[in-house]
Structure 1
Amino acid sequence: MTSILTNVAAMSALQTLRSIDSSMEDTQARVSSGLRVETASDNAAYWSIATTMRSDNMSLAAVEDALGLGAAKVDTAYSGMESAIEVVKEIKAKITAATEDGVDKDKIQEEITQLQDQLVSISEAASFSGENWLQADITAAGGSEVKSVVASFVRDANGDVSVKKVNYTLDSTSVLFDSGGDTGILDTIQTVEGNGVTVNVNIAGTTTPYNVLSYTTAEVIADGATFDSGGVVAVGGTVSAGYVKVDDDVWVAAIDQSGATDHEIFATDVDTSGVWAIDETNLASATALTTSVATLSIDNSTSSTQLDGLLQMVDDALEAMTSAASALGSISSRIEMQQEFVASLTDSIDTGIGRLVDADMNEESTRLKALQTQQQLAIQSLSIANSASESVLSLFK
């Protein structure tokens, strides 16, 4: 039946054209945006996941920046520590050179002073973004202070998020100088054995160890003492009545106490039958040195015993600095690995999001071409359907 009021064919063609136009709009949106899930209405579940993961990726980007900042801090501290180690090695070498007989220790101290000033300069300069890990007020911090470097952003199975950090503790084993006290590796005041030797002195039947002044053979000779041909006694020194040798190149002042029985006997003078010992009234205690690597000082009066003590102190500091440098190196290596992991993780998340929401451009372009063809055919069909009613006019001619 042909009707001029109701054109069923045109209505059907129009409905088809509307459907094609709607599909074309969706396809064109995907082609222009590159996304098949652009809004929650496209796919609520995928859109929600993608939005959350994009947010996490932004946090990971911030973590990557923080890792770069942390790496710079650690590298600055490591470079300063490494330079300081080389300077302390030089100080150790200078003290070793000072142990040689006839060396002008005053001249060596001039070099050591310059090296000590260099240590202060290095520690002050090892600062990045206002933080200095080689010089800090750890006394005010209660003996230690924890520095943190952001390492990662984590979302657990429950959806809870957190930021993980790498910690480095500033304390007496890692800081070169304590700006609020004297507890750093280089400024800790230590007691170094003085110019003395420990001997056992028998007083009234009780033997007690004493740290008494000691002298080298060269010092004994310089004092004008003459050696007894029958033993190890050097007689005639101005320090006391004489000296007794108690070890290789180690002498202690003694007096002749012939017939005494309540004193430690060090030697018997064969020529004079004298008994040489230390009397409790003649004990001269050796004074221990209290100093640090940053403040130690030597001169021509510094004994070999004192030099040995100073050398041990510097070596202990060098060992502590080496350990601290190893810790910094380990953190630096960990940060570098974490940077690589975060970069890889960011790429993986981007890839995962793409698999959920990205449009397949090959598929969409093919679909667009097909829809364009369908649209043209639908328009042509609508045109034919609209022209069908015109044939009714010919019946009235």
Structure 2
Amino acid sequence: MTSLITNTSAFAALQTLRSVGSKLHDTQTHVSTGVRVEKASDNAAYWSIATTMRSDRTAVSAVSDALGLAAAKADTAYEAMEQTGTVLSQIKAKLVAATEDGVDKSKVQDEIAQLVQQTVTIANSASFNGVNWLNTDVHDLYEADPKDRSASLVSSFVRNADGTVKVDMMSLDQIMTSLYNKEGGGILDGDPRSPLTIGGMRNENFFTTDITNDYSTTNVWPGGAAGKSFNFTAPVTFSNTDKITFDVTVDGDNPSQGLSSPLNPGFQTVGVTIDRALINSTLGRSDGTISDNVQMVKVLNAALAGTGASASWYTDQYGNVIPDRYQIQTLETSGLDGSQMQISNYSASTSLGDLGNVNTYGALGSVQTLYFTPFKIYRDVSLNFTFGVNDEATETHTIDRTTINSILGTTDGWINTADDMVTVLKTLITRPNTIIEANGSQILVRSDPLDDRLNGAKTEIGFRNMIVNIEPLPMSGLKAVDVEKNPGMVNAYLASVESMLGRVIDGAAILGSLKNRIEMQTEFANDLIDDISSGIGRLVDADMEVESSRLAALQTQQQLGVQALSIANSTPGSILKLFQ
């Protein structure tokens, strides 16, 4: 009986001691390693998550390193772009100086040439680890797909909800930063994307005749009021009996224009008389003399008052007054559709040059001639314009690569012929009874005269608000600037440099924004690494305070177990002594 009790006590003590020993081993491991989930058997779910997140932490750390490299590239390009802007400002100042009379343009050109070479040096030197965003080698820069001309930079490592992973990228379109491109097209190379006259829709700006690639935004063709010019040889003196009389009719419809009936015969016919009394009262004289064509115009306007016609001196196409000549034209204030100036029943006792019977009409309807030249719409170019006839509401349209290719069934954005241009305009312009047709290399845009009965200055047709999104463009490359060989092109060079400077500023702004984004992304990546590490710790790290307390308790339990086992083992001997 005693043996049975003793064996049972010893076994229980031994089991307890083994259990405590196992727990003590685990706790000692937790304390020594600081980890409570070290292998899958510790906690399969937490171990799996922790292992995955450790891998992700390594990937994010690699992203942080890549962002550091990207930051170095961006810093290099940004500093170089800012320096380029400074140099362009200096070139601009030299060009302004070259506009002054008496300036030695050869010396100015020497300074400009050195500054231009400095931009080349800056572009060549703006390289980090072999990567240069300012001196590029992109085939057909402006036609290349943006993804093919863009520099890619690692942005972030992403694990999606479905467990898939990817590396996000940020991109930099080098069209915004390329100063010099191997095939041309860089900011300082000159821009080839101008649509020129847009197939004749717009004209060169005659106010800046030395600057090419500078166009007017308006090309409207107004009609002209009916009128006739006359010769006049001064002076002319009217005696007390001299008199000129005639009748004036204005703004009747022209029977030869093929208009449908009824035709309006014009504003009421008004009789006109010119005599010595009229001349003296109009000019403040007493001798009845008209000394020149300016006085002749004053006398005629006094005589024509209330007729719907007026006189003016005659000018050439440049606005210069031609001596000994004047004209009489309708004022077109009658409210009628026609534009007519008719002098009839002319009677004169003296001569006012070749003034006499005449009947003239203005042109029917609105007509504009476009002088077509081929042009191309590049991938990222769009142009807007409004089209209108007379005082009607205008319509607004956009021409871009997609529009051209869709209308013509092409892919390259070219409008090569006047017939192609006619097809494009006919598709876009929706005004009823507008006739658009090719005439060789010219294009006629007009209102249908069967629909538009207006004549003369009441008619107007054309294009307004022609805006190209990429203009103004540099006329030529920076290396082509030569004020010594081309002194008449200084303003053109100045306009080009100003355009280049604007684009360099835009490029610097893009790079500055990229720098800021990289810095923010780097800070976020570092914070994310810390957060992932913290998250892993919450899953698998041991609570050292709890584990230490548990370790002390288990060590006490182990000591008590050893004592219990010792007591159990010594018990039989004690009992046997009782029987001795």
TM-score (ref. length: structure 2):
0.51
**Counterpart position of 2:113:** 113
Deviations 1:315-368 (A, max 9, x none): 000001111111111111111111111111111111111111111101111111
> Aligned equivalents of 1:100 and 1:362: distance in 2?
85
Q: Are residues 1:153 and 2:153 paired?
A: no
SS at match of 1:149: strand
Partner in structure 1 of residue 480 of structure 2 = 295
Distance 1:267 1:16, change over 3 A: closer
Go from structure 1 to structure 2 and tell me whether the alpha carbon gap of 1:265 and 1:51 turns closer, same or farther (over 3 Å shift): closer
Task: Provide the C-alpha distance between the structure 2 equivalents of 1:344 and 1:91, rounded to a whole number of angstroms.
Answer: 46
Letter matched to residue 8 of structure 2: V
Distance 2:576 2:514 in 1: 93
Deviations 1:213-271 (A, max 9, x none): xxxxxxxxxxxxxxxxxxxxxxxxxxxxxxxxxxxxxxxxxxxxxxxxxx96786898x
Structure 1 residues 147 and 193: CA distance shift in structure 2, 3 A: farther
| SS of alignment partner, residue 42 of structure 1 | coil
CA gap 1:195/1:46 in 2 versus in 1, 3 angstroms: closer
Q: Which amino acid aligns with 1:31?
A: V
Cα displacement (A) at 1:146:
1.1
Aligned to 1:170: 174
Give the letter aligned to residue 574 of structure 2: S
One-letter amino acid of the structure 2 residue matched with residue 89 of structure 1: S
Whether the 8 Å contact between 1:139 and 1:183 is mirrored in structure 2 is no
- The answer to whether the 8 A contact 1:116-1:295 is kept is no
Equivalents in 2 of 1:290, 1:334: separation in Å?
Answer: 34
- SS in structure 1 of the partner of residue 479 of structure 2: coil
Structure 1 residues 65 and 374, CA gap change in structure 2 (3 angstroms)? same
Corresponding residue of 1:19: 19
Match of 1:89 in 2: 89
Task: Tell me the distance in 2 between the aligned counterparts of 1:184 and 1:300.
Answer: 24
Q: Matched residues in 2 for 1:374 and 1:301: separation?
A: 102
Aligned-residue offset at 1:391: 2.9
Secondary structure of 2:161's match? Answer: coil
Aligned to 2:190: 188
1:294 CA drift (Å): 2.4
Question: C-alpha distance in 1, partners of 2:33/2:121?
Answer: 58
Question: Equivalent residue for 1:348?
Answer: 531
- Residue in structure 1 matched with residue 298 of structure 2 by the alignment: none
Output the CA distance in 2 between the equivalents of 1:195 and 1:380.
107
Contact kept, 8 Å, 1:95 with 1:311, in 2: the verdict is: yes
> What runs of 5+ residues in structure 2 fail to find an aligned partner?
195-207, 216-315, 324-473
Task: Count residues in correspondence.
Answer: 311
> Separation in 1 of the partners of 2:574 and 2:546?
43
Query: Partner of 1:320 in structure 2?
Result: 503
Tell me: CA distance 1:381–1:5, structure 2 relative to 1, closer, same or farther (3 Å).
closer
Higher helix share: 1
- Give the SS at the match of 1:7: helix
Matching of residues 37-48 of structure 1 within 5 Å: 37-48=37-48
Higher mean displacement: 185-194 or 141-150: 185-194
Q: How does 1:182-221 map to 2 (within 5 A)?
A: 182-188=184-190, 194=210
Post-superposition CA distance 1:29-54 (Å, at most 9, x none): 10011011111111111111111111
**Cα distance change, pair 174–267 in 1 and its aligned pair in 2 (3 A):** same
User: Using a 3 Å threshold, how does the CA distance of structure 1 residues 394 and 99 change in structure 2: closer, same or farther?
Assistant: same
For structure 1, the 5+ residue unaligned runs are 199-262, 271-288
In structure 2, C-alpha distance between the alignment counterparts of 1:10 and 1:43, rounded to whole Å: 34
C-alpha RMSD of the superposition = 2.7
Letter in 2 for 1:188: G
Given candidates 514, 531, 541, the residue that maps to 1:331 is: 514
Distance 1:388 1:112 in 2: 111
Contact 2:37 2:43 in 1 (8 A): yes
Given residue 174 of structure 1, which amino acid in structure 2 is its aligned partner? Answer: T
User: CA separation of 1:195/1:43 partners in 2, compared to 1, >3 Å: closer, same or farther?
Assistant: closer
Which whole-Å CA distance do the structure 1 matches of 2:559 and 2:579 have between them?
A: 33
Q: Is the 2:179–2:187 Cα contact (8 Å) retained in structure 1? A: yes
CA, structure 1 residues 34+57, in 2 after alignment: closer, same or farther (shift >3 Å)?
Answer: same
Instruction: Tell me the alpha carbon deviations over residues 4-36 of structure 1, each in whole angstroms, 9 at most, x when there is no partner.
Output: 796111111111100110110010010011011
Q: Give, as a single letter, the amino acid of the residue that structure 2 aligns with 1:348.
A: D
Q: What residue number does 1:132 align with?
A: 132
CA-CA distance at 1:182 after TM superposition: 1.8
Distance 1:290 1:332, change over 3 A: closer
- Give yes or no for contact 2:50–2:536 (8 Å, CA) kept in 1: yes
Distance 2:318 2:16 in 1: 126
* Residue identity (%): 49
- Change in Cα spacing, 1:72 to 1:352, as seen in structure 2 (3 Å) is same
